[in-house]
Structure 1
């Protein structure tokens, strides 16, 4: 014997009410997907709301971490493959190492140009901004400049205590670009020309077992230097 009264047919929601409720739920879910989930998870921000809420930067960091993890996995796989070969450099000719070779070549070119001319830190009499920060093992941080399209900033950074990973990139107004990436790089210097109006700068990560201190110096045509995280 049940004590609960069963609803009558008149008390049950109609098909029209159920349809409207389903459509309303679908609209709300789509709005949350576009304004919250896509920016936070994939750095896709078609409405601009994610940037205002700080979710797009969260998504960019997640993508950078995932890319770093993939690079570490590929490097470990390449190392294990080459360990049984007579020539330890043979694996460097594989396609998966092409990004690392390009980054290394860029750093080598920058180093050779610095040997032929005075150091960049000496060539620039005064730096507009100079920041120093310490990264614990596994920690990452990001510094960006607000720049107009075509603006050029001169930079020089050095890592004391160990080489680090970096990604020079930019984003803004729905655009994104990666200028240069490097793994295990102790220093870098050169010029950064903004491909579009937005935020442009560096993401640094310490993959060492000890703390490292990074000194970043910048000069040129930009609005503001700010730490993003």
Structure 2
């Protein structure tokens, strides 16, 4: 049987070489930690090399995902009793059905002399709808349907449609926001014009503005 020859003392590395190899390995590990591991895992990049290599972004994404996972875990750990109480409260206070809103019916008549104008507005909540119909007798008029929110900013305008020299129109007006919504008419003819407006729907009041 052949036995492997044992190395001689001269062939073994000296203590100085071992220390040098250990120091080199430690330095390499520290360099990798600073330039690769910290940017890639934690988004920490003291040297800027990680940002150049795209590793810092990777680390930031990992940290963001970890934070989101912790938040999700905290939400899932919420007391079942609290969830039951919240569900019961939601059942006890049902949303008010749309059918409970008051439905109004009004007919408004205004007379305009040549060159005169008038405006009629409905006080409506966002999403409320009104079926309307208006007719002019004696001549054609210009009309501008629009809405004004509560405390509108300077220069605000939200229109529902304009027309010139027409004798009437009908349709459905749906409020885009809480506020006043309606029509502005001007008589550009040389004769008196009578406008009759019929409204039916979900609004709190109707008022002649001018």
Scaled by the length of structure 1, what TM-score is found?
0.44
Scaled by the length of structure 2, what TM-score is found?
0.48
Q: With CA pairs under 8 Å and 6+ residues apart, which has the higher RCO, 1 or 2? A: 2
